[in-house]
Amino acid sequence: MANDSIRFKKSIPGAIIRYTDDGSEPDSLSSQIYSHPLVFSKPVTLSVKIFKPGWISSPTYTFSFFKAGLKPDSTRWLTSPEPEYLGAGVQSLTDNSLGRIDQFRAGNWLGYKNNQMETLFRFKPGDAAAIRFVSVHYGINVQSYILAPQYVELWGGDSERNMKLLKKEVLPILVKEKLNEVGTSAVILEVKKPTRYFKVIVKNVDKLPAFHPGKGDKGWIFIDEVFFSK
């Protein structure tokens, strides 16, 4: 990513593109203005919104950017996706091919509802020493019951039977203002020391809130890639 730039194109004269890289909603006053290609040295998720005086602002668009990841030498499901959303199998998680948000039934996406996602990754010692970030890429279509995860856990160790919790990120709960949200995003976790075995746990929402048409039902999570990058 250090040698690549991120570019946005606006088709409306006089429009202003503003963005954030901390998960917050872009606003028309304080958020950074996009004026030239962006360069980042690590995986990043950008929230982008378009403003023009006298016009209603655009929806918020979310984009995640990654370098191609290091490949594990073994990947194994510990819990299985739902039968109708098996993607192209467990290799869907590490094929460096991101799924499209309008094609959840395509071969990239793995869908979980009754189980949380639990997957084990094993790396060669040389590759394990180089890993600095683990990024879990997921889809969102709130009206279709597909939500951001409740939380993501990263476990690691020198063997499958000797693993410790390295990181846990709890995501914000769904609010009514995001009832029509559609997009993709990622949880990006930093790795502090070499780890040969990783277990990634992604927990779906147990109950949809009262303002959702499916209130009380379980939410889905759709995962299509886990990146292990330098």
Residue 68 pLDDT: 66
Which residues lie across from 133 on neighbouring strands? 190, 229
For residue range 36-94, what is the model confidence (pLDDT) as tens digits?
899 887 778 888 999 999 998 988 887 777 766 799 999 999 999 999 999 889 999 99
Residue type at 87 in one-letter notation: G
- Among 22-31, 135-144, 210-219, the range with the most confident prediction by mean pLDDT is 210-219
pLDDT at 199: 98
DSSP 90: G
The residue among 59, 69, 64, 77 whose CA lies nearest residue 21 is: 64
Which pTM does this prediction carry?
Answer: 0.80
> pLDDT digit string (tens) for 93-148?
998 887 777 777 777 899 999 999 999 999 999 999 999 999 999 999 999 999 99
- The dihedrals phi and psi of 131, each to the nearest 5 degrees, come to -75, 130
Question: What span, in angstroms and rounded, lies between the C-alpha atoms of 153 and 119?
Answer: 11
Q: Return the beta strands (E) in 16-60 as ranges.
A: 16-20, 32-33, 44-51
Residue 12 has pLDDT above 90, yes or no: no
- The rounded mean pLDDT for the chain is 90
